[in-house]
Amino acid sequence: MDFELSEDQRAFQATARAFARERLLPNAGKWDDERHFPAAELREAAQLGFGGIYVPEEHGGTGLTRLDAALIFEELAYADPSTTGFLTIHNMVAGMISRFGDDEQRARYLPKIIAGDHFVSYCLTEPGSGSDAAALKTRAEAEGENYRINGTKAFISGGGVADLYVTMLRTGDDSSKGISCVVVEDNTPGLSFGLPERKMGWNSQPTAQVQFTDCLVPQSNRLGREGEGFRFAMIGLDGGRINIAACSLGGAQACLDTALAYVKERRAFGRPIADFQAVQFKLADMATELDAARLMVHRAAASLDAKSPDATKHCAMAKRFATDICHRICDEALQLHGGYGYIKDYQVERYLRDLRVHRILEGTNEIMRVIIARKLLEAA
């Protein structure tokens, strides 16, 4: 087992780090305050190869591994977990189209997605089905060569600004085998959006309901066969869980670094607070737990790359552990800053707010525990 990064990995890690510090970090606080979607910067990221990170080169992508992607997303999230979170979804959808689409669909969609000319959203959750995703109600009825779609998706990142919506729809019975995956293009008649949600964090990307009212979409926009959509969704989420865990690593590392610098400068009782053992122990725990989380995320990514039978379990474990631990590290960093941590100028509170949702999306951490327990019991 080799824990050292390759020369290539260090190179694209450095590229991501430089882009994050130069193009994201100086603006992230402003984007958060103004709820601004940084489309231009996301397109710049795509031009660096970050719009189709694990899409194979023969499909126009960068052709990197899931571990490579985790390294990139951690560096980007060090500056801005919210904007990076949107980019992870963009990459997840690009990967799904690459893997499950046919040649015509790849040629039609992937070039613009990978270049950042088209942004994409992933539509699974509904107002009445979150953790129980297989209970979705949005229906697509076959009508000639089209589907007539009616229903609503909720909490959709990029809702209202994306160009493509990869959507899980019920085309058959009420089981998970009755779900299909269809690409719905923006400006399709019958496609509309709710007002942007007012959120605790992730404010640089809009989140809104995606609504379908007699929305006619060609059946040729379906990825794979009818009834394969739920399987596609679950496969996509394995990688999505690694991605969001990697974003948590980046945010937590930024907060730890900020806290380390602060405790050396801040003085109390005549000396830097870094001299106090209580502060030192807290920093030691933060660094140790962050390193443990990083190792779990990298193991899960390597497991997914190797198509290990334990990949789903490893991804769920990494997502559960990293998102819980990293949110706690941000909270500890804020505590070390005292009252200043609660002020936006130091930005620790932005990371705390952004990382909070990571424990909910891509499957709540309670659902991660369900997945882990099932896998353990199956093997027992």
Buried-state track 160-192, b at ≥16 Cβ within 10 A, e below 16: bbbbbbbbbbbbeeeebebbbbbbbbeebeebe
Whole-number Å distance between alpha carbons of 241 and 105: 25
> Nearest-CA neighbor of 151 among 200, 203, 212, 64?
212
C-alpha to C-alpha distances, 90 to 82, 149, 198, 265, 365, nearest whole angstrom: 13, 23, 22, 40, 22
Determine the Cα–Cα distance for residues 16 and 27; give it in Å rounded to an integer.
16
Block residue for tokens 């809104």? 208
- List Cα–Cα distances, 175 to 125, 126, 178, in angstroms: 16, 16, 5
- Strand pairing category for 139-143 and 191-193: unpaired
Does an H or E element contain 215, and which?
A: strand 207-218
The Cα–Cα gap between 348 and 6 comes to 32
Show the tokens assigned to 30. 């402003």
| DSSP classification of residue 53 | T
Residues designated catalytic: 362
